[in-house]
Chains A and B, each alone.
Chain A
Amino acid sequence: MSALLRLDQAHRLFYGADELSAVYRDGERLWPFGPDLLYAGGGAGFVIVPEIGGVFTDTAGTTPASVPSSLARVNDISGNGIDVTQATAAQRPVLGRAPVSRRNAIANSHVADAVLLGTVAAAASALDNGRTIPMERYTSTSTPATLVTTGLHKTYPMLAGIEWTISAYIRPLANRYIYFGSNGAGGQSNVGGIIRIDTTNDSIALVRTFANTFPGAYKIQNLGGGLYRATINGRYTSQTNSKTISVWCSDQLVTTNTTATFNVFTQAPNGPFDAGGWQYEEGAPPELNPDPTPWQHVGAATSDVTEEDTPDFPLIRFDNVDDRLIGTLPGAVSGDLVIAGKNGSLIESVSLASGSAILVGSGCPPVAARALIAVGDLVGAAVFNKTLSLDERDRLMRYFGKRGAKGLYQLGPELLTNPSFDVAGGAGWTTSGLADFSTPGQVRIADVAATDGAISQQVMGVAAGDLICVEYEIVSENSTISNSFRVRFGASLGSAGDGDVLIGLDPVGVNKLYHQARRDNPFMQFLAFSTGTEVVLNYISAKKMTAGAIP
């Protein structure tokens, strides 16, 4: 039987006892695979991958960048020399790093953000399965008989509908009870709940929940040596920006509490206590499984994530406001644009003229700029003057996957009713102003005499947090500014609560945008916004996106 050696899937190779760094044939590298191999023979285009091509804090490329510095230059590794740079400080993206499995999304995850009625000082770190957990010691300065809650607090992000899991390590020391809440003590509003742990028998009780916010679970682990890890999972249904994890300890028993705030303690803690190892994760609650996920350290920037005993890989974070990297294309390119990110990856067709500026980030051709919003932190990007074969796509995605990218986004079924306007009268669509379905298979939307024309539809089958791909074909349009024609998402017809995507400069033809739903079943409106704007559309399609597996 003959053996087959799949070089493209090899992680390490040995020749006898010697480990190989590369395999060449006739001067051509066969292994390890890198995107540069896809340019063998001289294809136009470029590839940027932060760890290999070289990343710098100056446009000349003399000072290597380190996390979390901003990037003035990222070198092209295709061999074509199309390096991308940014001379303006405010428009530079940031170099980050993360393990392949990035979970913790809380800044400065090793320290609390606020201390209520007390002081905080360094404490001996803890160990969880041999992993170091930084801790801080809290000492109360509150006085007895004062209605206060005391303790340590940690801010975490909060988006409507996103399921979250928060956790922290706690050493109660001389205190009998641990209280762990998903919102700040002493001023909490209505998110999540508060659990109480009796350390004499490790019993756990839920002492407070808040309306419509706490469908999740909670758990406490006694890790031995007086160390506990507490976890709460939940999902908040309204939009806000941030909430606060809170930890406080006491000998005082609080059984239930239904008041607006939790200011019910009448005595200070029975001595100091320690807390640390804060973690906030989006998604299902892995912490509640028998094997909780390890704590990850996050620096002052949430793009800087490391985990003990786990390799991390560089990434580039754009602010999606004005950050961009710019290069110049020496020759025309017509082929595939590949954008690999921590949330998912996309391959789109592009045609770029010779001499045109290549932009990575804000200001890109719409499809590329919007793709960055979909893929999240950038693991790598490439432009090829050809359409990649399936085998080339797979090899490329394996390459990016090893550096922390998720697989290519897969599209779900159509979510809209009458997406191509084939049903007479625009069935399924609600109209306002001038929205004309008289031509079969098309809709004409216009702003006449300062009255916005619009068509709207509720996108059913979408949960808050889902990523939606909206594709639409423009037959004709007269807009000259991005603001004149827009797609608006919100809680009801015409509501702008979830933001607008400005598409007034999209060219005639097929275009796409990506939207992360901020609520279940959002309303979507195509809106002619400026007086005189008139756009004819051939179809509008909305589909859920799910990052596929790395092949």
Chain B
Amino acid sequence: MISAILVVPVDLRERANFLALCLGWGPDSYSVPLTIDGETISHFACRADVTESFLAMISDASNGIFPSIPMTPQEISAVVVGLLSDFAAPGQYESARSHFEAAIARHGLAPL
């Protein structure tokens, strides 16, 4: 399995959660508040173990090939364009938490 850190801006959270729900991930996937300025929530994150097929789906969506779900291509595309993602192979980090901390730091984000 591949460790995935997925981050969306606040204004995309609802749509990203709906996309995840459509993909069978359940409700409220993006639940970890993050901040740029240390004061306000700017993004929400989730961490999950994903498969190669998930990476392929993200790649396909970036190339205009969208999964068959009750969202328009424009809605899906908006999430994919705004999505910050970071993937790590098994063993690349000492723990999932280490991966999370490194990934959000790369984007100038911190937990709130």
Contact = CB atoms under 8 A, between A and B. Distances in A.
Given A320-B97, A322-B31, A88 B92 contact: no
Interface of A, secondary structure class, is loop
A319 B29 contact: no
B39 A483 contact: yes
A31 to B, nearest CB: 38
B90 A530 contact: no
Interface string A269-292: 000000000000000000000000
B1 A88 contact: no
Interface in B20-35: 20, 24-29, 31-32, 35
Interface string B1-33: 100001000000000000010001111110110
A481 B112 contact: yes
Interface string A354-377: 000000001000000000010000
A63 B25 CA distance: 17
A529 B40 CA distance: 12
A153 to B, nearest CB: 12
A88 B91 contact: no
Nearest to A156: B91
Given A319-B97, A320-B95, A322-B47, A483 B1 contact: no
B111 A90 contact: no
B1 A319 contact: no
20 contacts: A89-B24, A90-B47, A91-B26, A113-B91, A155-B92, A157-B94, A241-B92, A242-B94, A300-B1, A301-B1, A301-B49, A302-B91, A319-B47, A319-B96, A320-B96, A321-B45, A373-B97, A483-B39, A500-B110, A500-B111
Nearest to A244: B91
B77 to A, nearest CB: 21
A107 B1 CA distance: 11
A158 B20 contact: no
A530 B49 contact: no
Given A108-B90, A156-B91, A157-B91, A321 B38 contact: no
Interface string A78-95: 000000000111110010
B75 interface: no
Interface in A219-243: 241-242
Nearest to A499: B101
A70 interface: yes
Given A156-B91, A322-B31, 10 more contacts: A91-B31, A108-B91, A159-B94, A300-B1, A302-B91, A319-B96, A321-B32, A373-B97, A502-B111, A530-B38
Interface string B82-101: 00000000111111111011
Interface string A288-325: 00000000000011100000000000000001111100
Interface residues of A, number: 38
Q: Which of A87, A321, A323, A502 has its CB near the most chain B CB atoms (within 10 A)?
A: A321
Interface string A32-75: 00000000000000000000000000000000000010100000
Given A241-B98, A482-B111, A301 B90 contact: yes
Interface residues of B, number: 34
Contacts of B24: 89
Nearest to A530: B39
A90 B91 contact: no
Contacts of A94: 49
B47 A321 contact: yes
Contact of A483 (B29, B92, B96, B112): B112
B55 interface: no
A496 to B, nearest CB: 9
A91 B6 CA distance: 13
Nearest to A59: B26
B46 interface: yes
A15 B39 CA distance: 68
Contacts of A483: 35, 38-39, 110-112
Contacts of B71: none
A499 B104 CA distance: 12
B29 A241 contact: no
